[in-house]
Amino acid sequence: MADLKLDQIRKRYGAVDVLHGIDLDVKDGEFVVFVGPSGCGKSTLLRIIAGLEEITGGELMIDGDVVNTKSPRDRGIAMVFQSYALYPHMTVYKNMAFGLKLDKQDKSAIDARVREAARILQLDQLLDRRPSELSGGQRQRVAIGRAIVRQPKVFLFDEPLSNLDAALRVQTRLEIAKLHQDLKSTIVYVTHDQVEAMTLADKIVVMNGGNVEQVGSPMQLYHHPETRFVAGFIGSPAMNFTNVRIDAVAPGKVTVSAPGGIKSVLPFEVPQSEVGKIVELGIRPEHLAPGDEETLSVNGEVDVVEKLGDSTYLYIKLANGDRVTVRAPGHSRIKIGDMVTASAPAGAAHLFDGDGKAFVKVDYPAEFSAEE
């Protein structure tokens, strides 16, 4: 178990820059999740940590040692592959023992460790089977077991749940979370699924186009996204965005408006120079509710209704053509074609400038804060 430090890590394939200088600190025992759309460089970054890709520039440190040029075997890491990468010609036992055998450990030590890992992962009954005789979830556990027996400093997971069906994915997610609690090891985990990121991570690294957009706890990313990209990526259904004009600013206050209804004073620190500019207002669907009780209100015609039982998603078309999703609690009676007003507390709003950077929010209620 150890900490991991990335200092200005760059990766270039020929003329294409894939990673543009990544800085990251992972503390001992932390569960870090790299999340982002496909092609954002998250898998490449993981493979760099694993030693499967060469580093073009920057420094990678595991446990205080620079490991840039070290081979995977000397880095003290163990990776769980997306495809599991189990050896079809070996039994479960041999698959799990393979790394230890290469390490020239003695037979009884190997046996003890493999059986211990098999017990933790409930693979005891399957040790003599071949991977082809296992279900997807069992193969996944063998792949994890093969990593566990090596007692690595850092575990690396590359989209481990993407080949499982929905029900099994939830179950395995819980198992991985429990495993982390038991082993207390450092884990770096790559996924494109923000639910996995939110539920598993101590720290989420949101990546986009070879850059880190934001690093923070799940709740920090949810409540205080620093960029429009993070705001749109974290949360389901995705945050609503609509253009508004800045009419006036005062210390800790900004007045915004949009044709067709929105006119509101919001608690943001906005420089005087922004007055008159068009900025983006973001509101999460779950913070909007039908009715005009709250300060920030939108209205328009409902054009789609999705009923989920516990809640109803209303898709409202605003006067400026933007569509806003509202998550109404319970089984709503609102129908397609109804004119609806929905509102949210001013503290729930997010405001992004022309470059997609968030304005600083001040003075908001605890329910919109990441602090525990």
Partner 1 sequence: MSNSAAVKSGGFRLGLLLLALPLLLWLFLLVILPHIDLLLVSLRERISYGKYEFSLINYVEFFTEPLYWNTYVRTAVMSIFATVLTLIIGFPVSYYIAKVIRGKGKNALFLMCLIPFWVSELVRTFGWMILLRESGVISNLLQWIGVADGPVEMLYNDAAIMVGLVYTSMLFMVVPLVSVLDSLDDSLIEAGYDLGGNAFTITRDIVVPHAMPGIASGCIVVFMLTLGNYLTPNLLGGKDSLWFTEQIYTQFITRFNWESGSAFGFLLLVLSSVIVWVGLKLSKQTLSQTVG
Output 82 or 243, the one with its CB closest to partner 1.
Answer: 82
- Note the residues at the interface with partner 1 (CB under 8 A): 50-52, 71-73, 77-79, 81-83, 85, 87-89, 98-99, 102-103, 146, 150
Q: How far is the CB of 154 from partner 1 (least distance, A)?
A: 12
Q: How far is the CB of 343 from partner 1 (least distance, A)?
A: 51
Element (H, E) at 76: none
Output 154 or 346, the one with its CB closest to partner 1.
Answer: 154
Q: How far is the CB of 161 from partner 1 (least distance, A)?
A: 16
Q: How far is the CB of 84 from partner 1 (least distance, A)?
A: 8
Q: How far is the CB of 41 from partner 1 (least distance, A)?
A: 18
Q: What are the residues whose beta carbons fall under 8 Å from the beta carbon of 201, sequence distance 6 or more?
A: 31, 32, 33, 189, 217, 218
Output 75 or 284, the one with its CB closest to partner 1.
Answer: 75
Q: What are the residues whose beta carbons fall under 8 Å from the beta carbon of 291, sequence distance 6 or more?
A: 341, 342, 343
Q: How far is the CB of 53 from partner 1 (least distance, A)?
A: 10
Q: How far is the CB of 81 from partner 1 (least distance, A)?
A: 5
Residue 57 pairs with which residues in a beta bridge?
A: 10
Q: What are the residues whose beta carbons fall under 8 Å from the beta carbon of 195, sequence distance 6 or more?
A: 236
- Measured CA to CA, the distance from residue 162 to residue 40 in angstroms comes to 17
Output 51 or 210, the one with its CB closest to partner 1.
Answer: 51
Contact 345, 297 (CB under 8 A): no
Contact 220, 199 (CB under 8 A): no
Output 73 or 333, the one with its CB closest to partner 1.
Answer: 73
- Measured CA to CA, the distance from residue 212 to residue 19 in angstroms comes to 9
- The stretches of 51-193 forming alpha helices (DSSP H) are 92-102, 107-120, 136-148, 166-183
Pull the structure tokens for residue 316: 């409202």
| Residue 162 vs residues 77, 169, 195, 274, 312: alpha-carbon distances, Å | 22, 8, 12, 44, 28
Output 146 or 228, the one with its CB closest to partner 1.
Answer: 146
Output 18 or 281, the one with its CB closest to partner 1.
Answer: 18
